Structure 1
């Protein structure tokens, strides 16, 4: 009788990592297919654009403020699933934050994209944590940063 080779047993960490990766991919696709906060604000207080010519990503971000607090955030644009999902996630998270707090969130997100393990478990990043895997693909990190470029651009424009 021929001997049957057994499939190698995957360590628990590998299985957990694969399941987590699959869930993150699903969350990214959900934000891409059913973007939150997509649309326009009739009279925005701030507006900025971010682009990634390599991938063709373009995001226009509009903000309605109460003092320096972001009351409403909306975005429009086109591009790859990473840029569009990142815009949806970012717009959802920055509503209610001050501009300074949004800048802090931006810094933390950059740390996540640089592979910072602590950032990957930071609850303040919310759904953005699903983009942690992008750190393994430097060309794609640019896509994830396009909406943040739009935020920086909006803050640089004087009202």
Structure 2
């Protein structure tokens, strides 16, 4: 392992732990919102995602739940990233995240993934990929229900 990739792994771990210990958007929304409950029975992760959609955009997003550092930090990163995005962009970002988690090539030009890129290392641990994608799958489910 090169020094560069070792430093990057350390940085990524720090970013993930920061989102786990200091989650962004943790809590519940007061207003009329979409509620999506999802869980990962393999490891016990559970999330309730709340999205406030106004005029085709995600006006706000919050989550509550319990689980491992990967699932909760991913929920923190996802809710941060999609706030203010049009529904189509949020779904496209989710698709890009899914490709990244599968180790596939993805277009990193359209969105600045920021902290989300810290989750790339999860691809080395296939059993943890479901942890990282749980909140994203919840968002997709909620937005697809909203559109239908």
Same fold by TM-score, threshold 0.5 exceeded? yes
The 8 Å contact of residues 49 and 153 in structure 1, kept in 2 or not, is answered as no
Q: Helix, strand or coil for the counterpart of 1:157?
A: helix
Structure 2, unaligned runs of 5 or more: none
How does the TM-score come out when normalised to structure 1?
A: 0.85
In the TM superposition, structure 1's runs of 4+ consecutive aligned residues that sit over 4 Å from their partners are 117-123
- Answering whether residue 36 of structure 2 is matched by residue 48 of structure 1, we say yes
CA contact 2:34–2:50 (8 Å) conserved in 1: yes
Aligned length: 147
Secondary structure of 2:113's counterpart equals helix
Q: Structure 1 123/151 Cα, relative in aligned 2: closer, same or farther at 3 Å?
A: closer
Unaligned runs of 5+ in 1: 1-12
Of 83, 95, 105, the match for 2:71: 83
Larger Rg: 1
Q: Distance in 1 between matches of 2:93 and 2:111?
A: 11
CA spacing shift, 1:123–1:17, aligned 2, 3 Å? farther
1:113 match: 101
Aligned equivalents of 2:6, 2:109: Cα separation in 1? 17
TM-score by length of 2: 0.91
RMSD of aligned Cα (Å): 2.0
SS in structure 2 at match of 1:75: strand
1:70 equivalent in structure 2 = 58
